[in-house]
Amino acid sequence: MIKEIKKHLKKVNDFHTENLSELESFRIEYSGKKGILNDFFVSFRDIPNENKKEYGKELNILKELVSNKIQSIKNSISLTSEMGKNGDLFRPGFEFDTGSRHPLSIVKNRIISIFSQIGFKLSEGPEIEDDWHNFTALNLPEHHPARDMQDTFFIQTNPDKLLRTHTSSVQVRYMENNKPPIRILSPGRVFRNEAISSRSHCIFHQVEGLYINREVSFADLKQTLQFFTKALFGKSIIRLRPSYFPFTEPSAEVDIYWGLETETDRRITKGTGWLEIMGCGMVDPNVLINCNIDPEKYSGYAFGMGIERITMLLYQIGDIRMFFENDLRFLKQFKSSI
């Protein structure tokens, strides 16, 4: 009987299959109620006492071998099935080159986030505008000398259509269709026919804000700008210099005190410590009238800044053209800023 067990040990060791049906037949043959293992255990009582120890030892070895063989083949068949669906599960993985946000998008999102904290909501409009929304409604009628301040890309087939020169046109569209109170932020791409250099481009991005309500004052504008500069630059010392914009009255340029701690500070501030970051002012009553808002009841302020200029300041980028060249060596530097 011991020799029979050893024959089955060799048979079990040599057994292999990739078919579940064959494996089930093997299991029944050895481990079933009427299987070979059961027969050997039933025969145990007929074995002479002097041989029972060796017989029992070999029988237990066979039993464990059958159990391990069944489980091993079952695992192998399951793994092969999964590999058929998903490929080699043990192959080395591919390295993924994670992308990064464009620096202009990073700064734009930061600006939007800051103003959203004080109630500004987003408003967007078309990049191809008409004369009314881009110029006339903003106190820039035809032949107004202020139009010479910005050379424009007009659509050749339709002289009334042009590529917007500022996102103020979005504010006009919003005021035409919404009643005060109005508190909106208008980010977007704008176009001006300027020579491309390290400091200027014919395509750039702006963020403009507008607040219209009863009894809005210049003090409200200043408080808003101080909150913004403190949140974005960490500097709340600002000054407002008188300026001129056709759609605001009074108008001002906004400077922040950048400081003179390094040579870079001296260079970008021209040795003054002050740095211009945006324009602003109280909305001209004529603009409110053009948008069907009563200037006797409502007043408001507006401000606007170039995203490229802000980004160049924050990241100390010396050439505006780098934003548009899609050079991966440049863009990969902003992975940690996502």
In one-letter notation, the amino acid at residue 77 is: I
> Are 209 and 161 found together in one domain?
yes
Q: How far apart are CA 153 and CA 128, in angstroms?
A: 10
Residue at a domain's end among 32, 61, 86: 86
> Are 142 and 63 found together in one domain?
no
> What range defines the domain where residue 9 resides?
2-86
Residue at a domain's end among 51, 86, 121: 86
Residue at a domain's end among 55, 86, 117: 86
Q: How far apart are CA 35 and CA 29, in angstroms?
A: 5
Please write the tens of the pLDDT for every residue from 301-318. Answer: 999 999 998 998 888 888
Q: How many domains does the chain have?
A: 2
Share of the chain above pLDDT 70, in %: 93
Would you tell me how many other CB atoms lie within 10 Å of the CB of residue 224? Answer: 19
> Are 126 and 79 found together in one domain?
no
> Are 257 and 148 found together in one domain?
yes
Rg (CA), the chain: 39
Whether 140 maps to a domain, the answer reads yes
For residue 237, pLDDT beyond 90: no
> Are 82 and 161 found together in one domain?
no
- Partnered with residue 253 across adjacent β-strands are 241, 279
Which of 120, 148, 135 is CA-nearest to residue 302? 120
> Are 49 and 128 found together in one domain?
no
Tokens of 30: 């050895």
Across 131-145, 160-174, 312-326, the highest mean pLDDT is recorded for: 160-174
> Are 67 and 206 found together in one domain?
no
Q: Which residues contact 82 (CB under 8 A, 6 or more apart)?
A: 89
Helix boundaries (H) for the chain: 2-14, 20-31, 36-43, 49-86, 103-116, 131-134, 168-177, 218-233, 263-268, 285-290, 307-315, 328-331
CB 254 within 8 A of CB 276: yes
pTM (whole model) above 0.75:
no
Residue 75's pLDDT band (boundaries 50, 70, 90)? confident
Task: Tell how strand 299-306 and strand 274-283 pair up.
Answer: antiparallel
pLDDT at residue 48, as a whole number: 79
- On the 0-12 / 13-18 / 19+ scale of CB atoms within 10 A, 74 is middle
Give CA angle at 28 (26, 30), nearest 5°: 70
> Are 201 and 285 found together in one domain?
yes
CB 307 within 8 A of CB 190: no
Which of 204, 200, 177, 163 is CA-nearest to residue 304? 204
User: Which residue bears the tokens 């029979």?
Assistant: 4
Which of 14, 20, 9 is CA-nearest to residue 73? 20
Q: How far apart are CA 80 and CA 70, in angstroms?
A: 16
Whether 310 maps to a domain, the answer reads yes
User: Distances in Å between the alpha carbon of 333 and those of 95, 97, 110, 206?
Assistant: 19, 13, 18, 23
Whether 133 maps to a domain, the answer reads yes
Whether 92 maps to a domain, the answer reads no
> Are 107 and 81 found together in one domain?
no
- On the 0-12 / 13-18 / 19+ scale of CB atoms within 10 A, 221 is buried
For residue 287, the domain's CATH number is 3.30.930.10
Residue 149's pLDDT band (boundaries 50, 70, 90)? low
Which of 173, 177, 205 is CA-nearest to residue 192? 205
> Are 108 and 59 found together in one domain?
no
> Are 179 and 265 found together in one domain?
yes
pLDDT at residue 207, as a whole number: 96
> Are 49 and 142 found together in one domain?
no
Which of 5, 8, 13, 7 is CA-nearest to residue 52? 5
SS3 277: strand
Whether 91 maps to a domain, the answer reads no
Residue 184's pLDDT band (boundaries 50, 70, 90)? very high
pLDDT at residue 4, as a whole number: 77
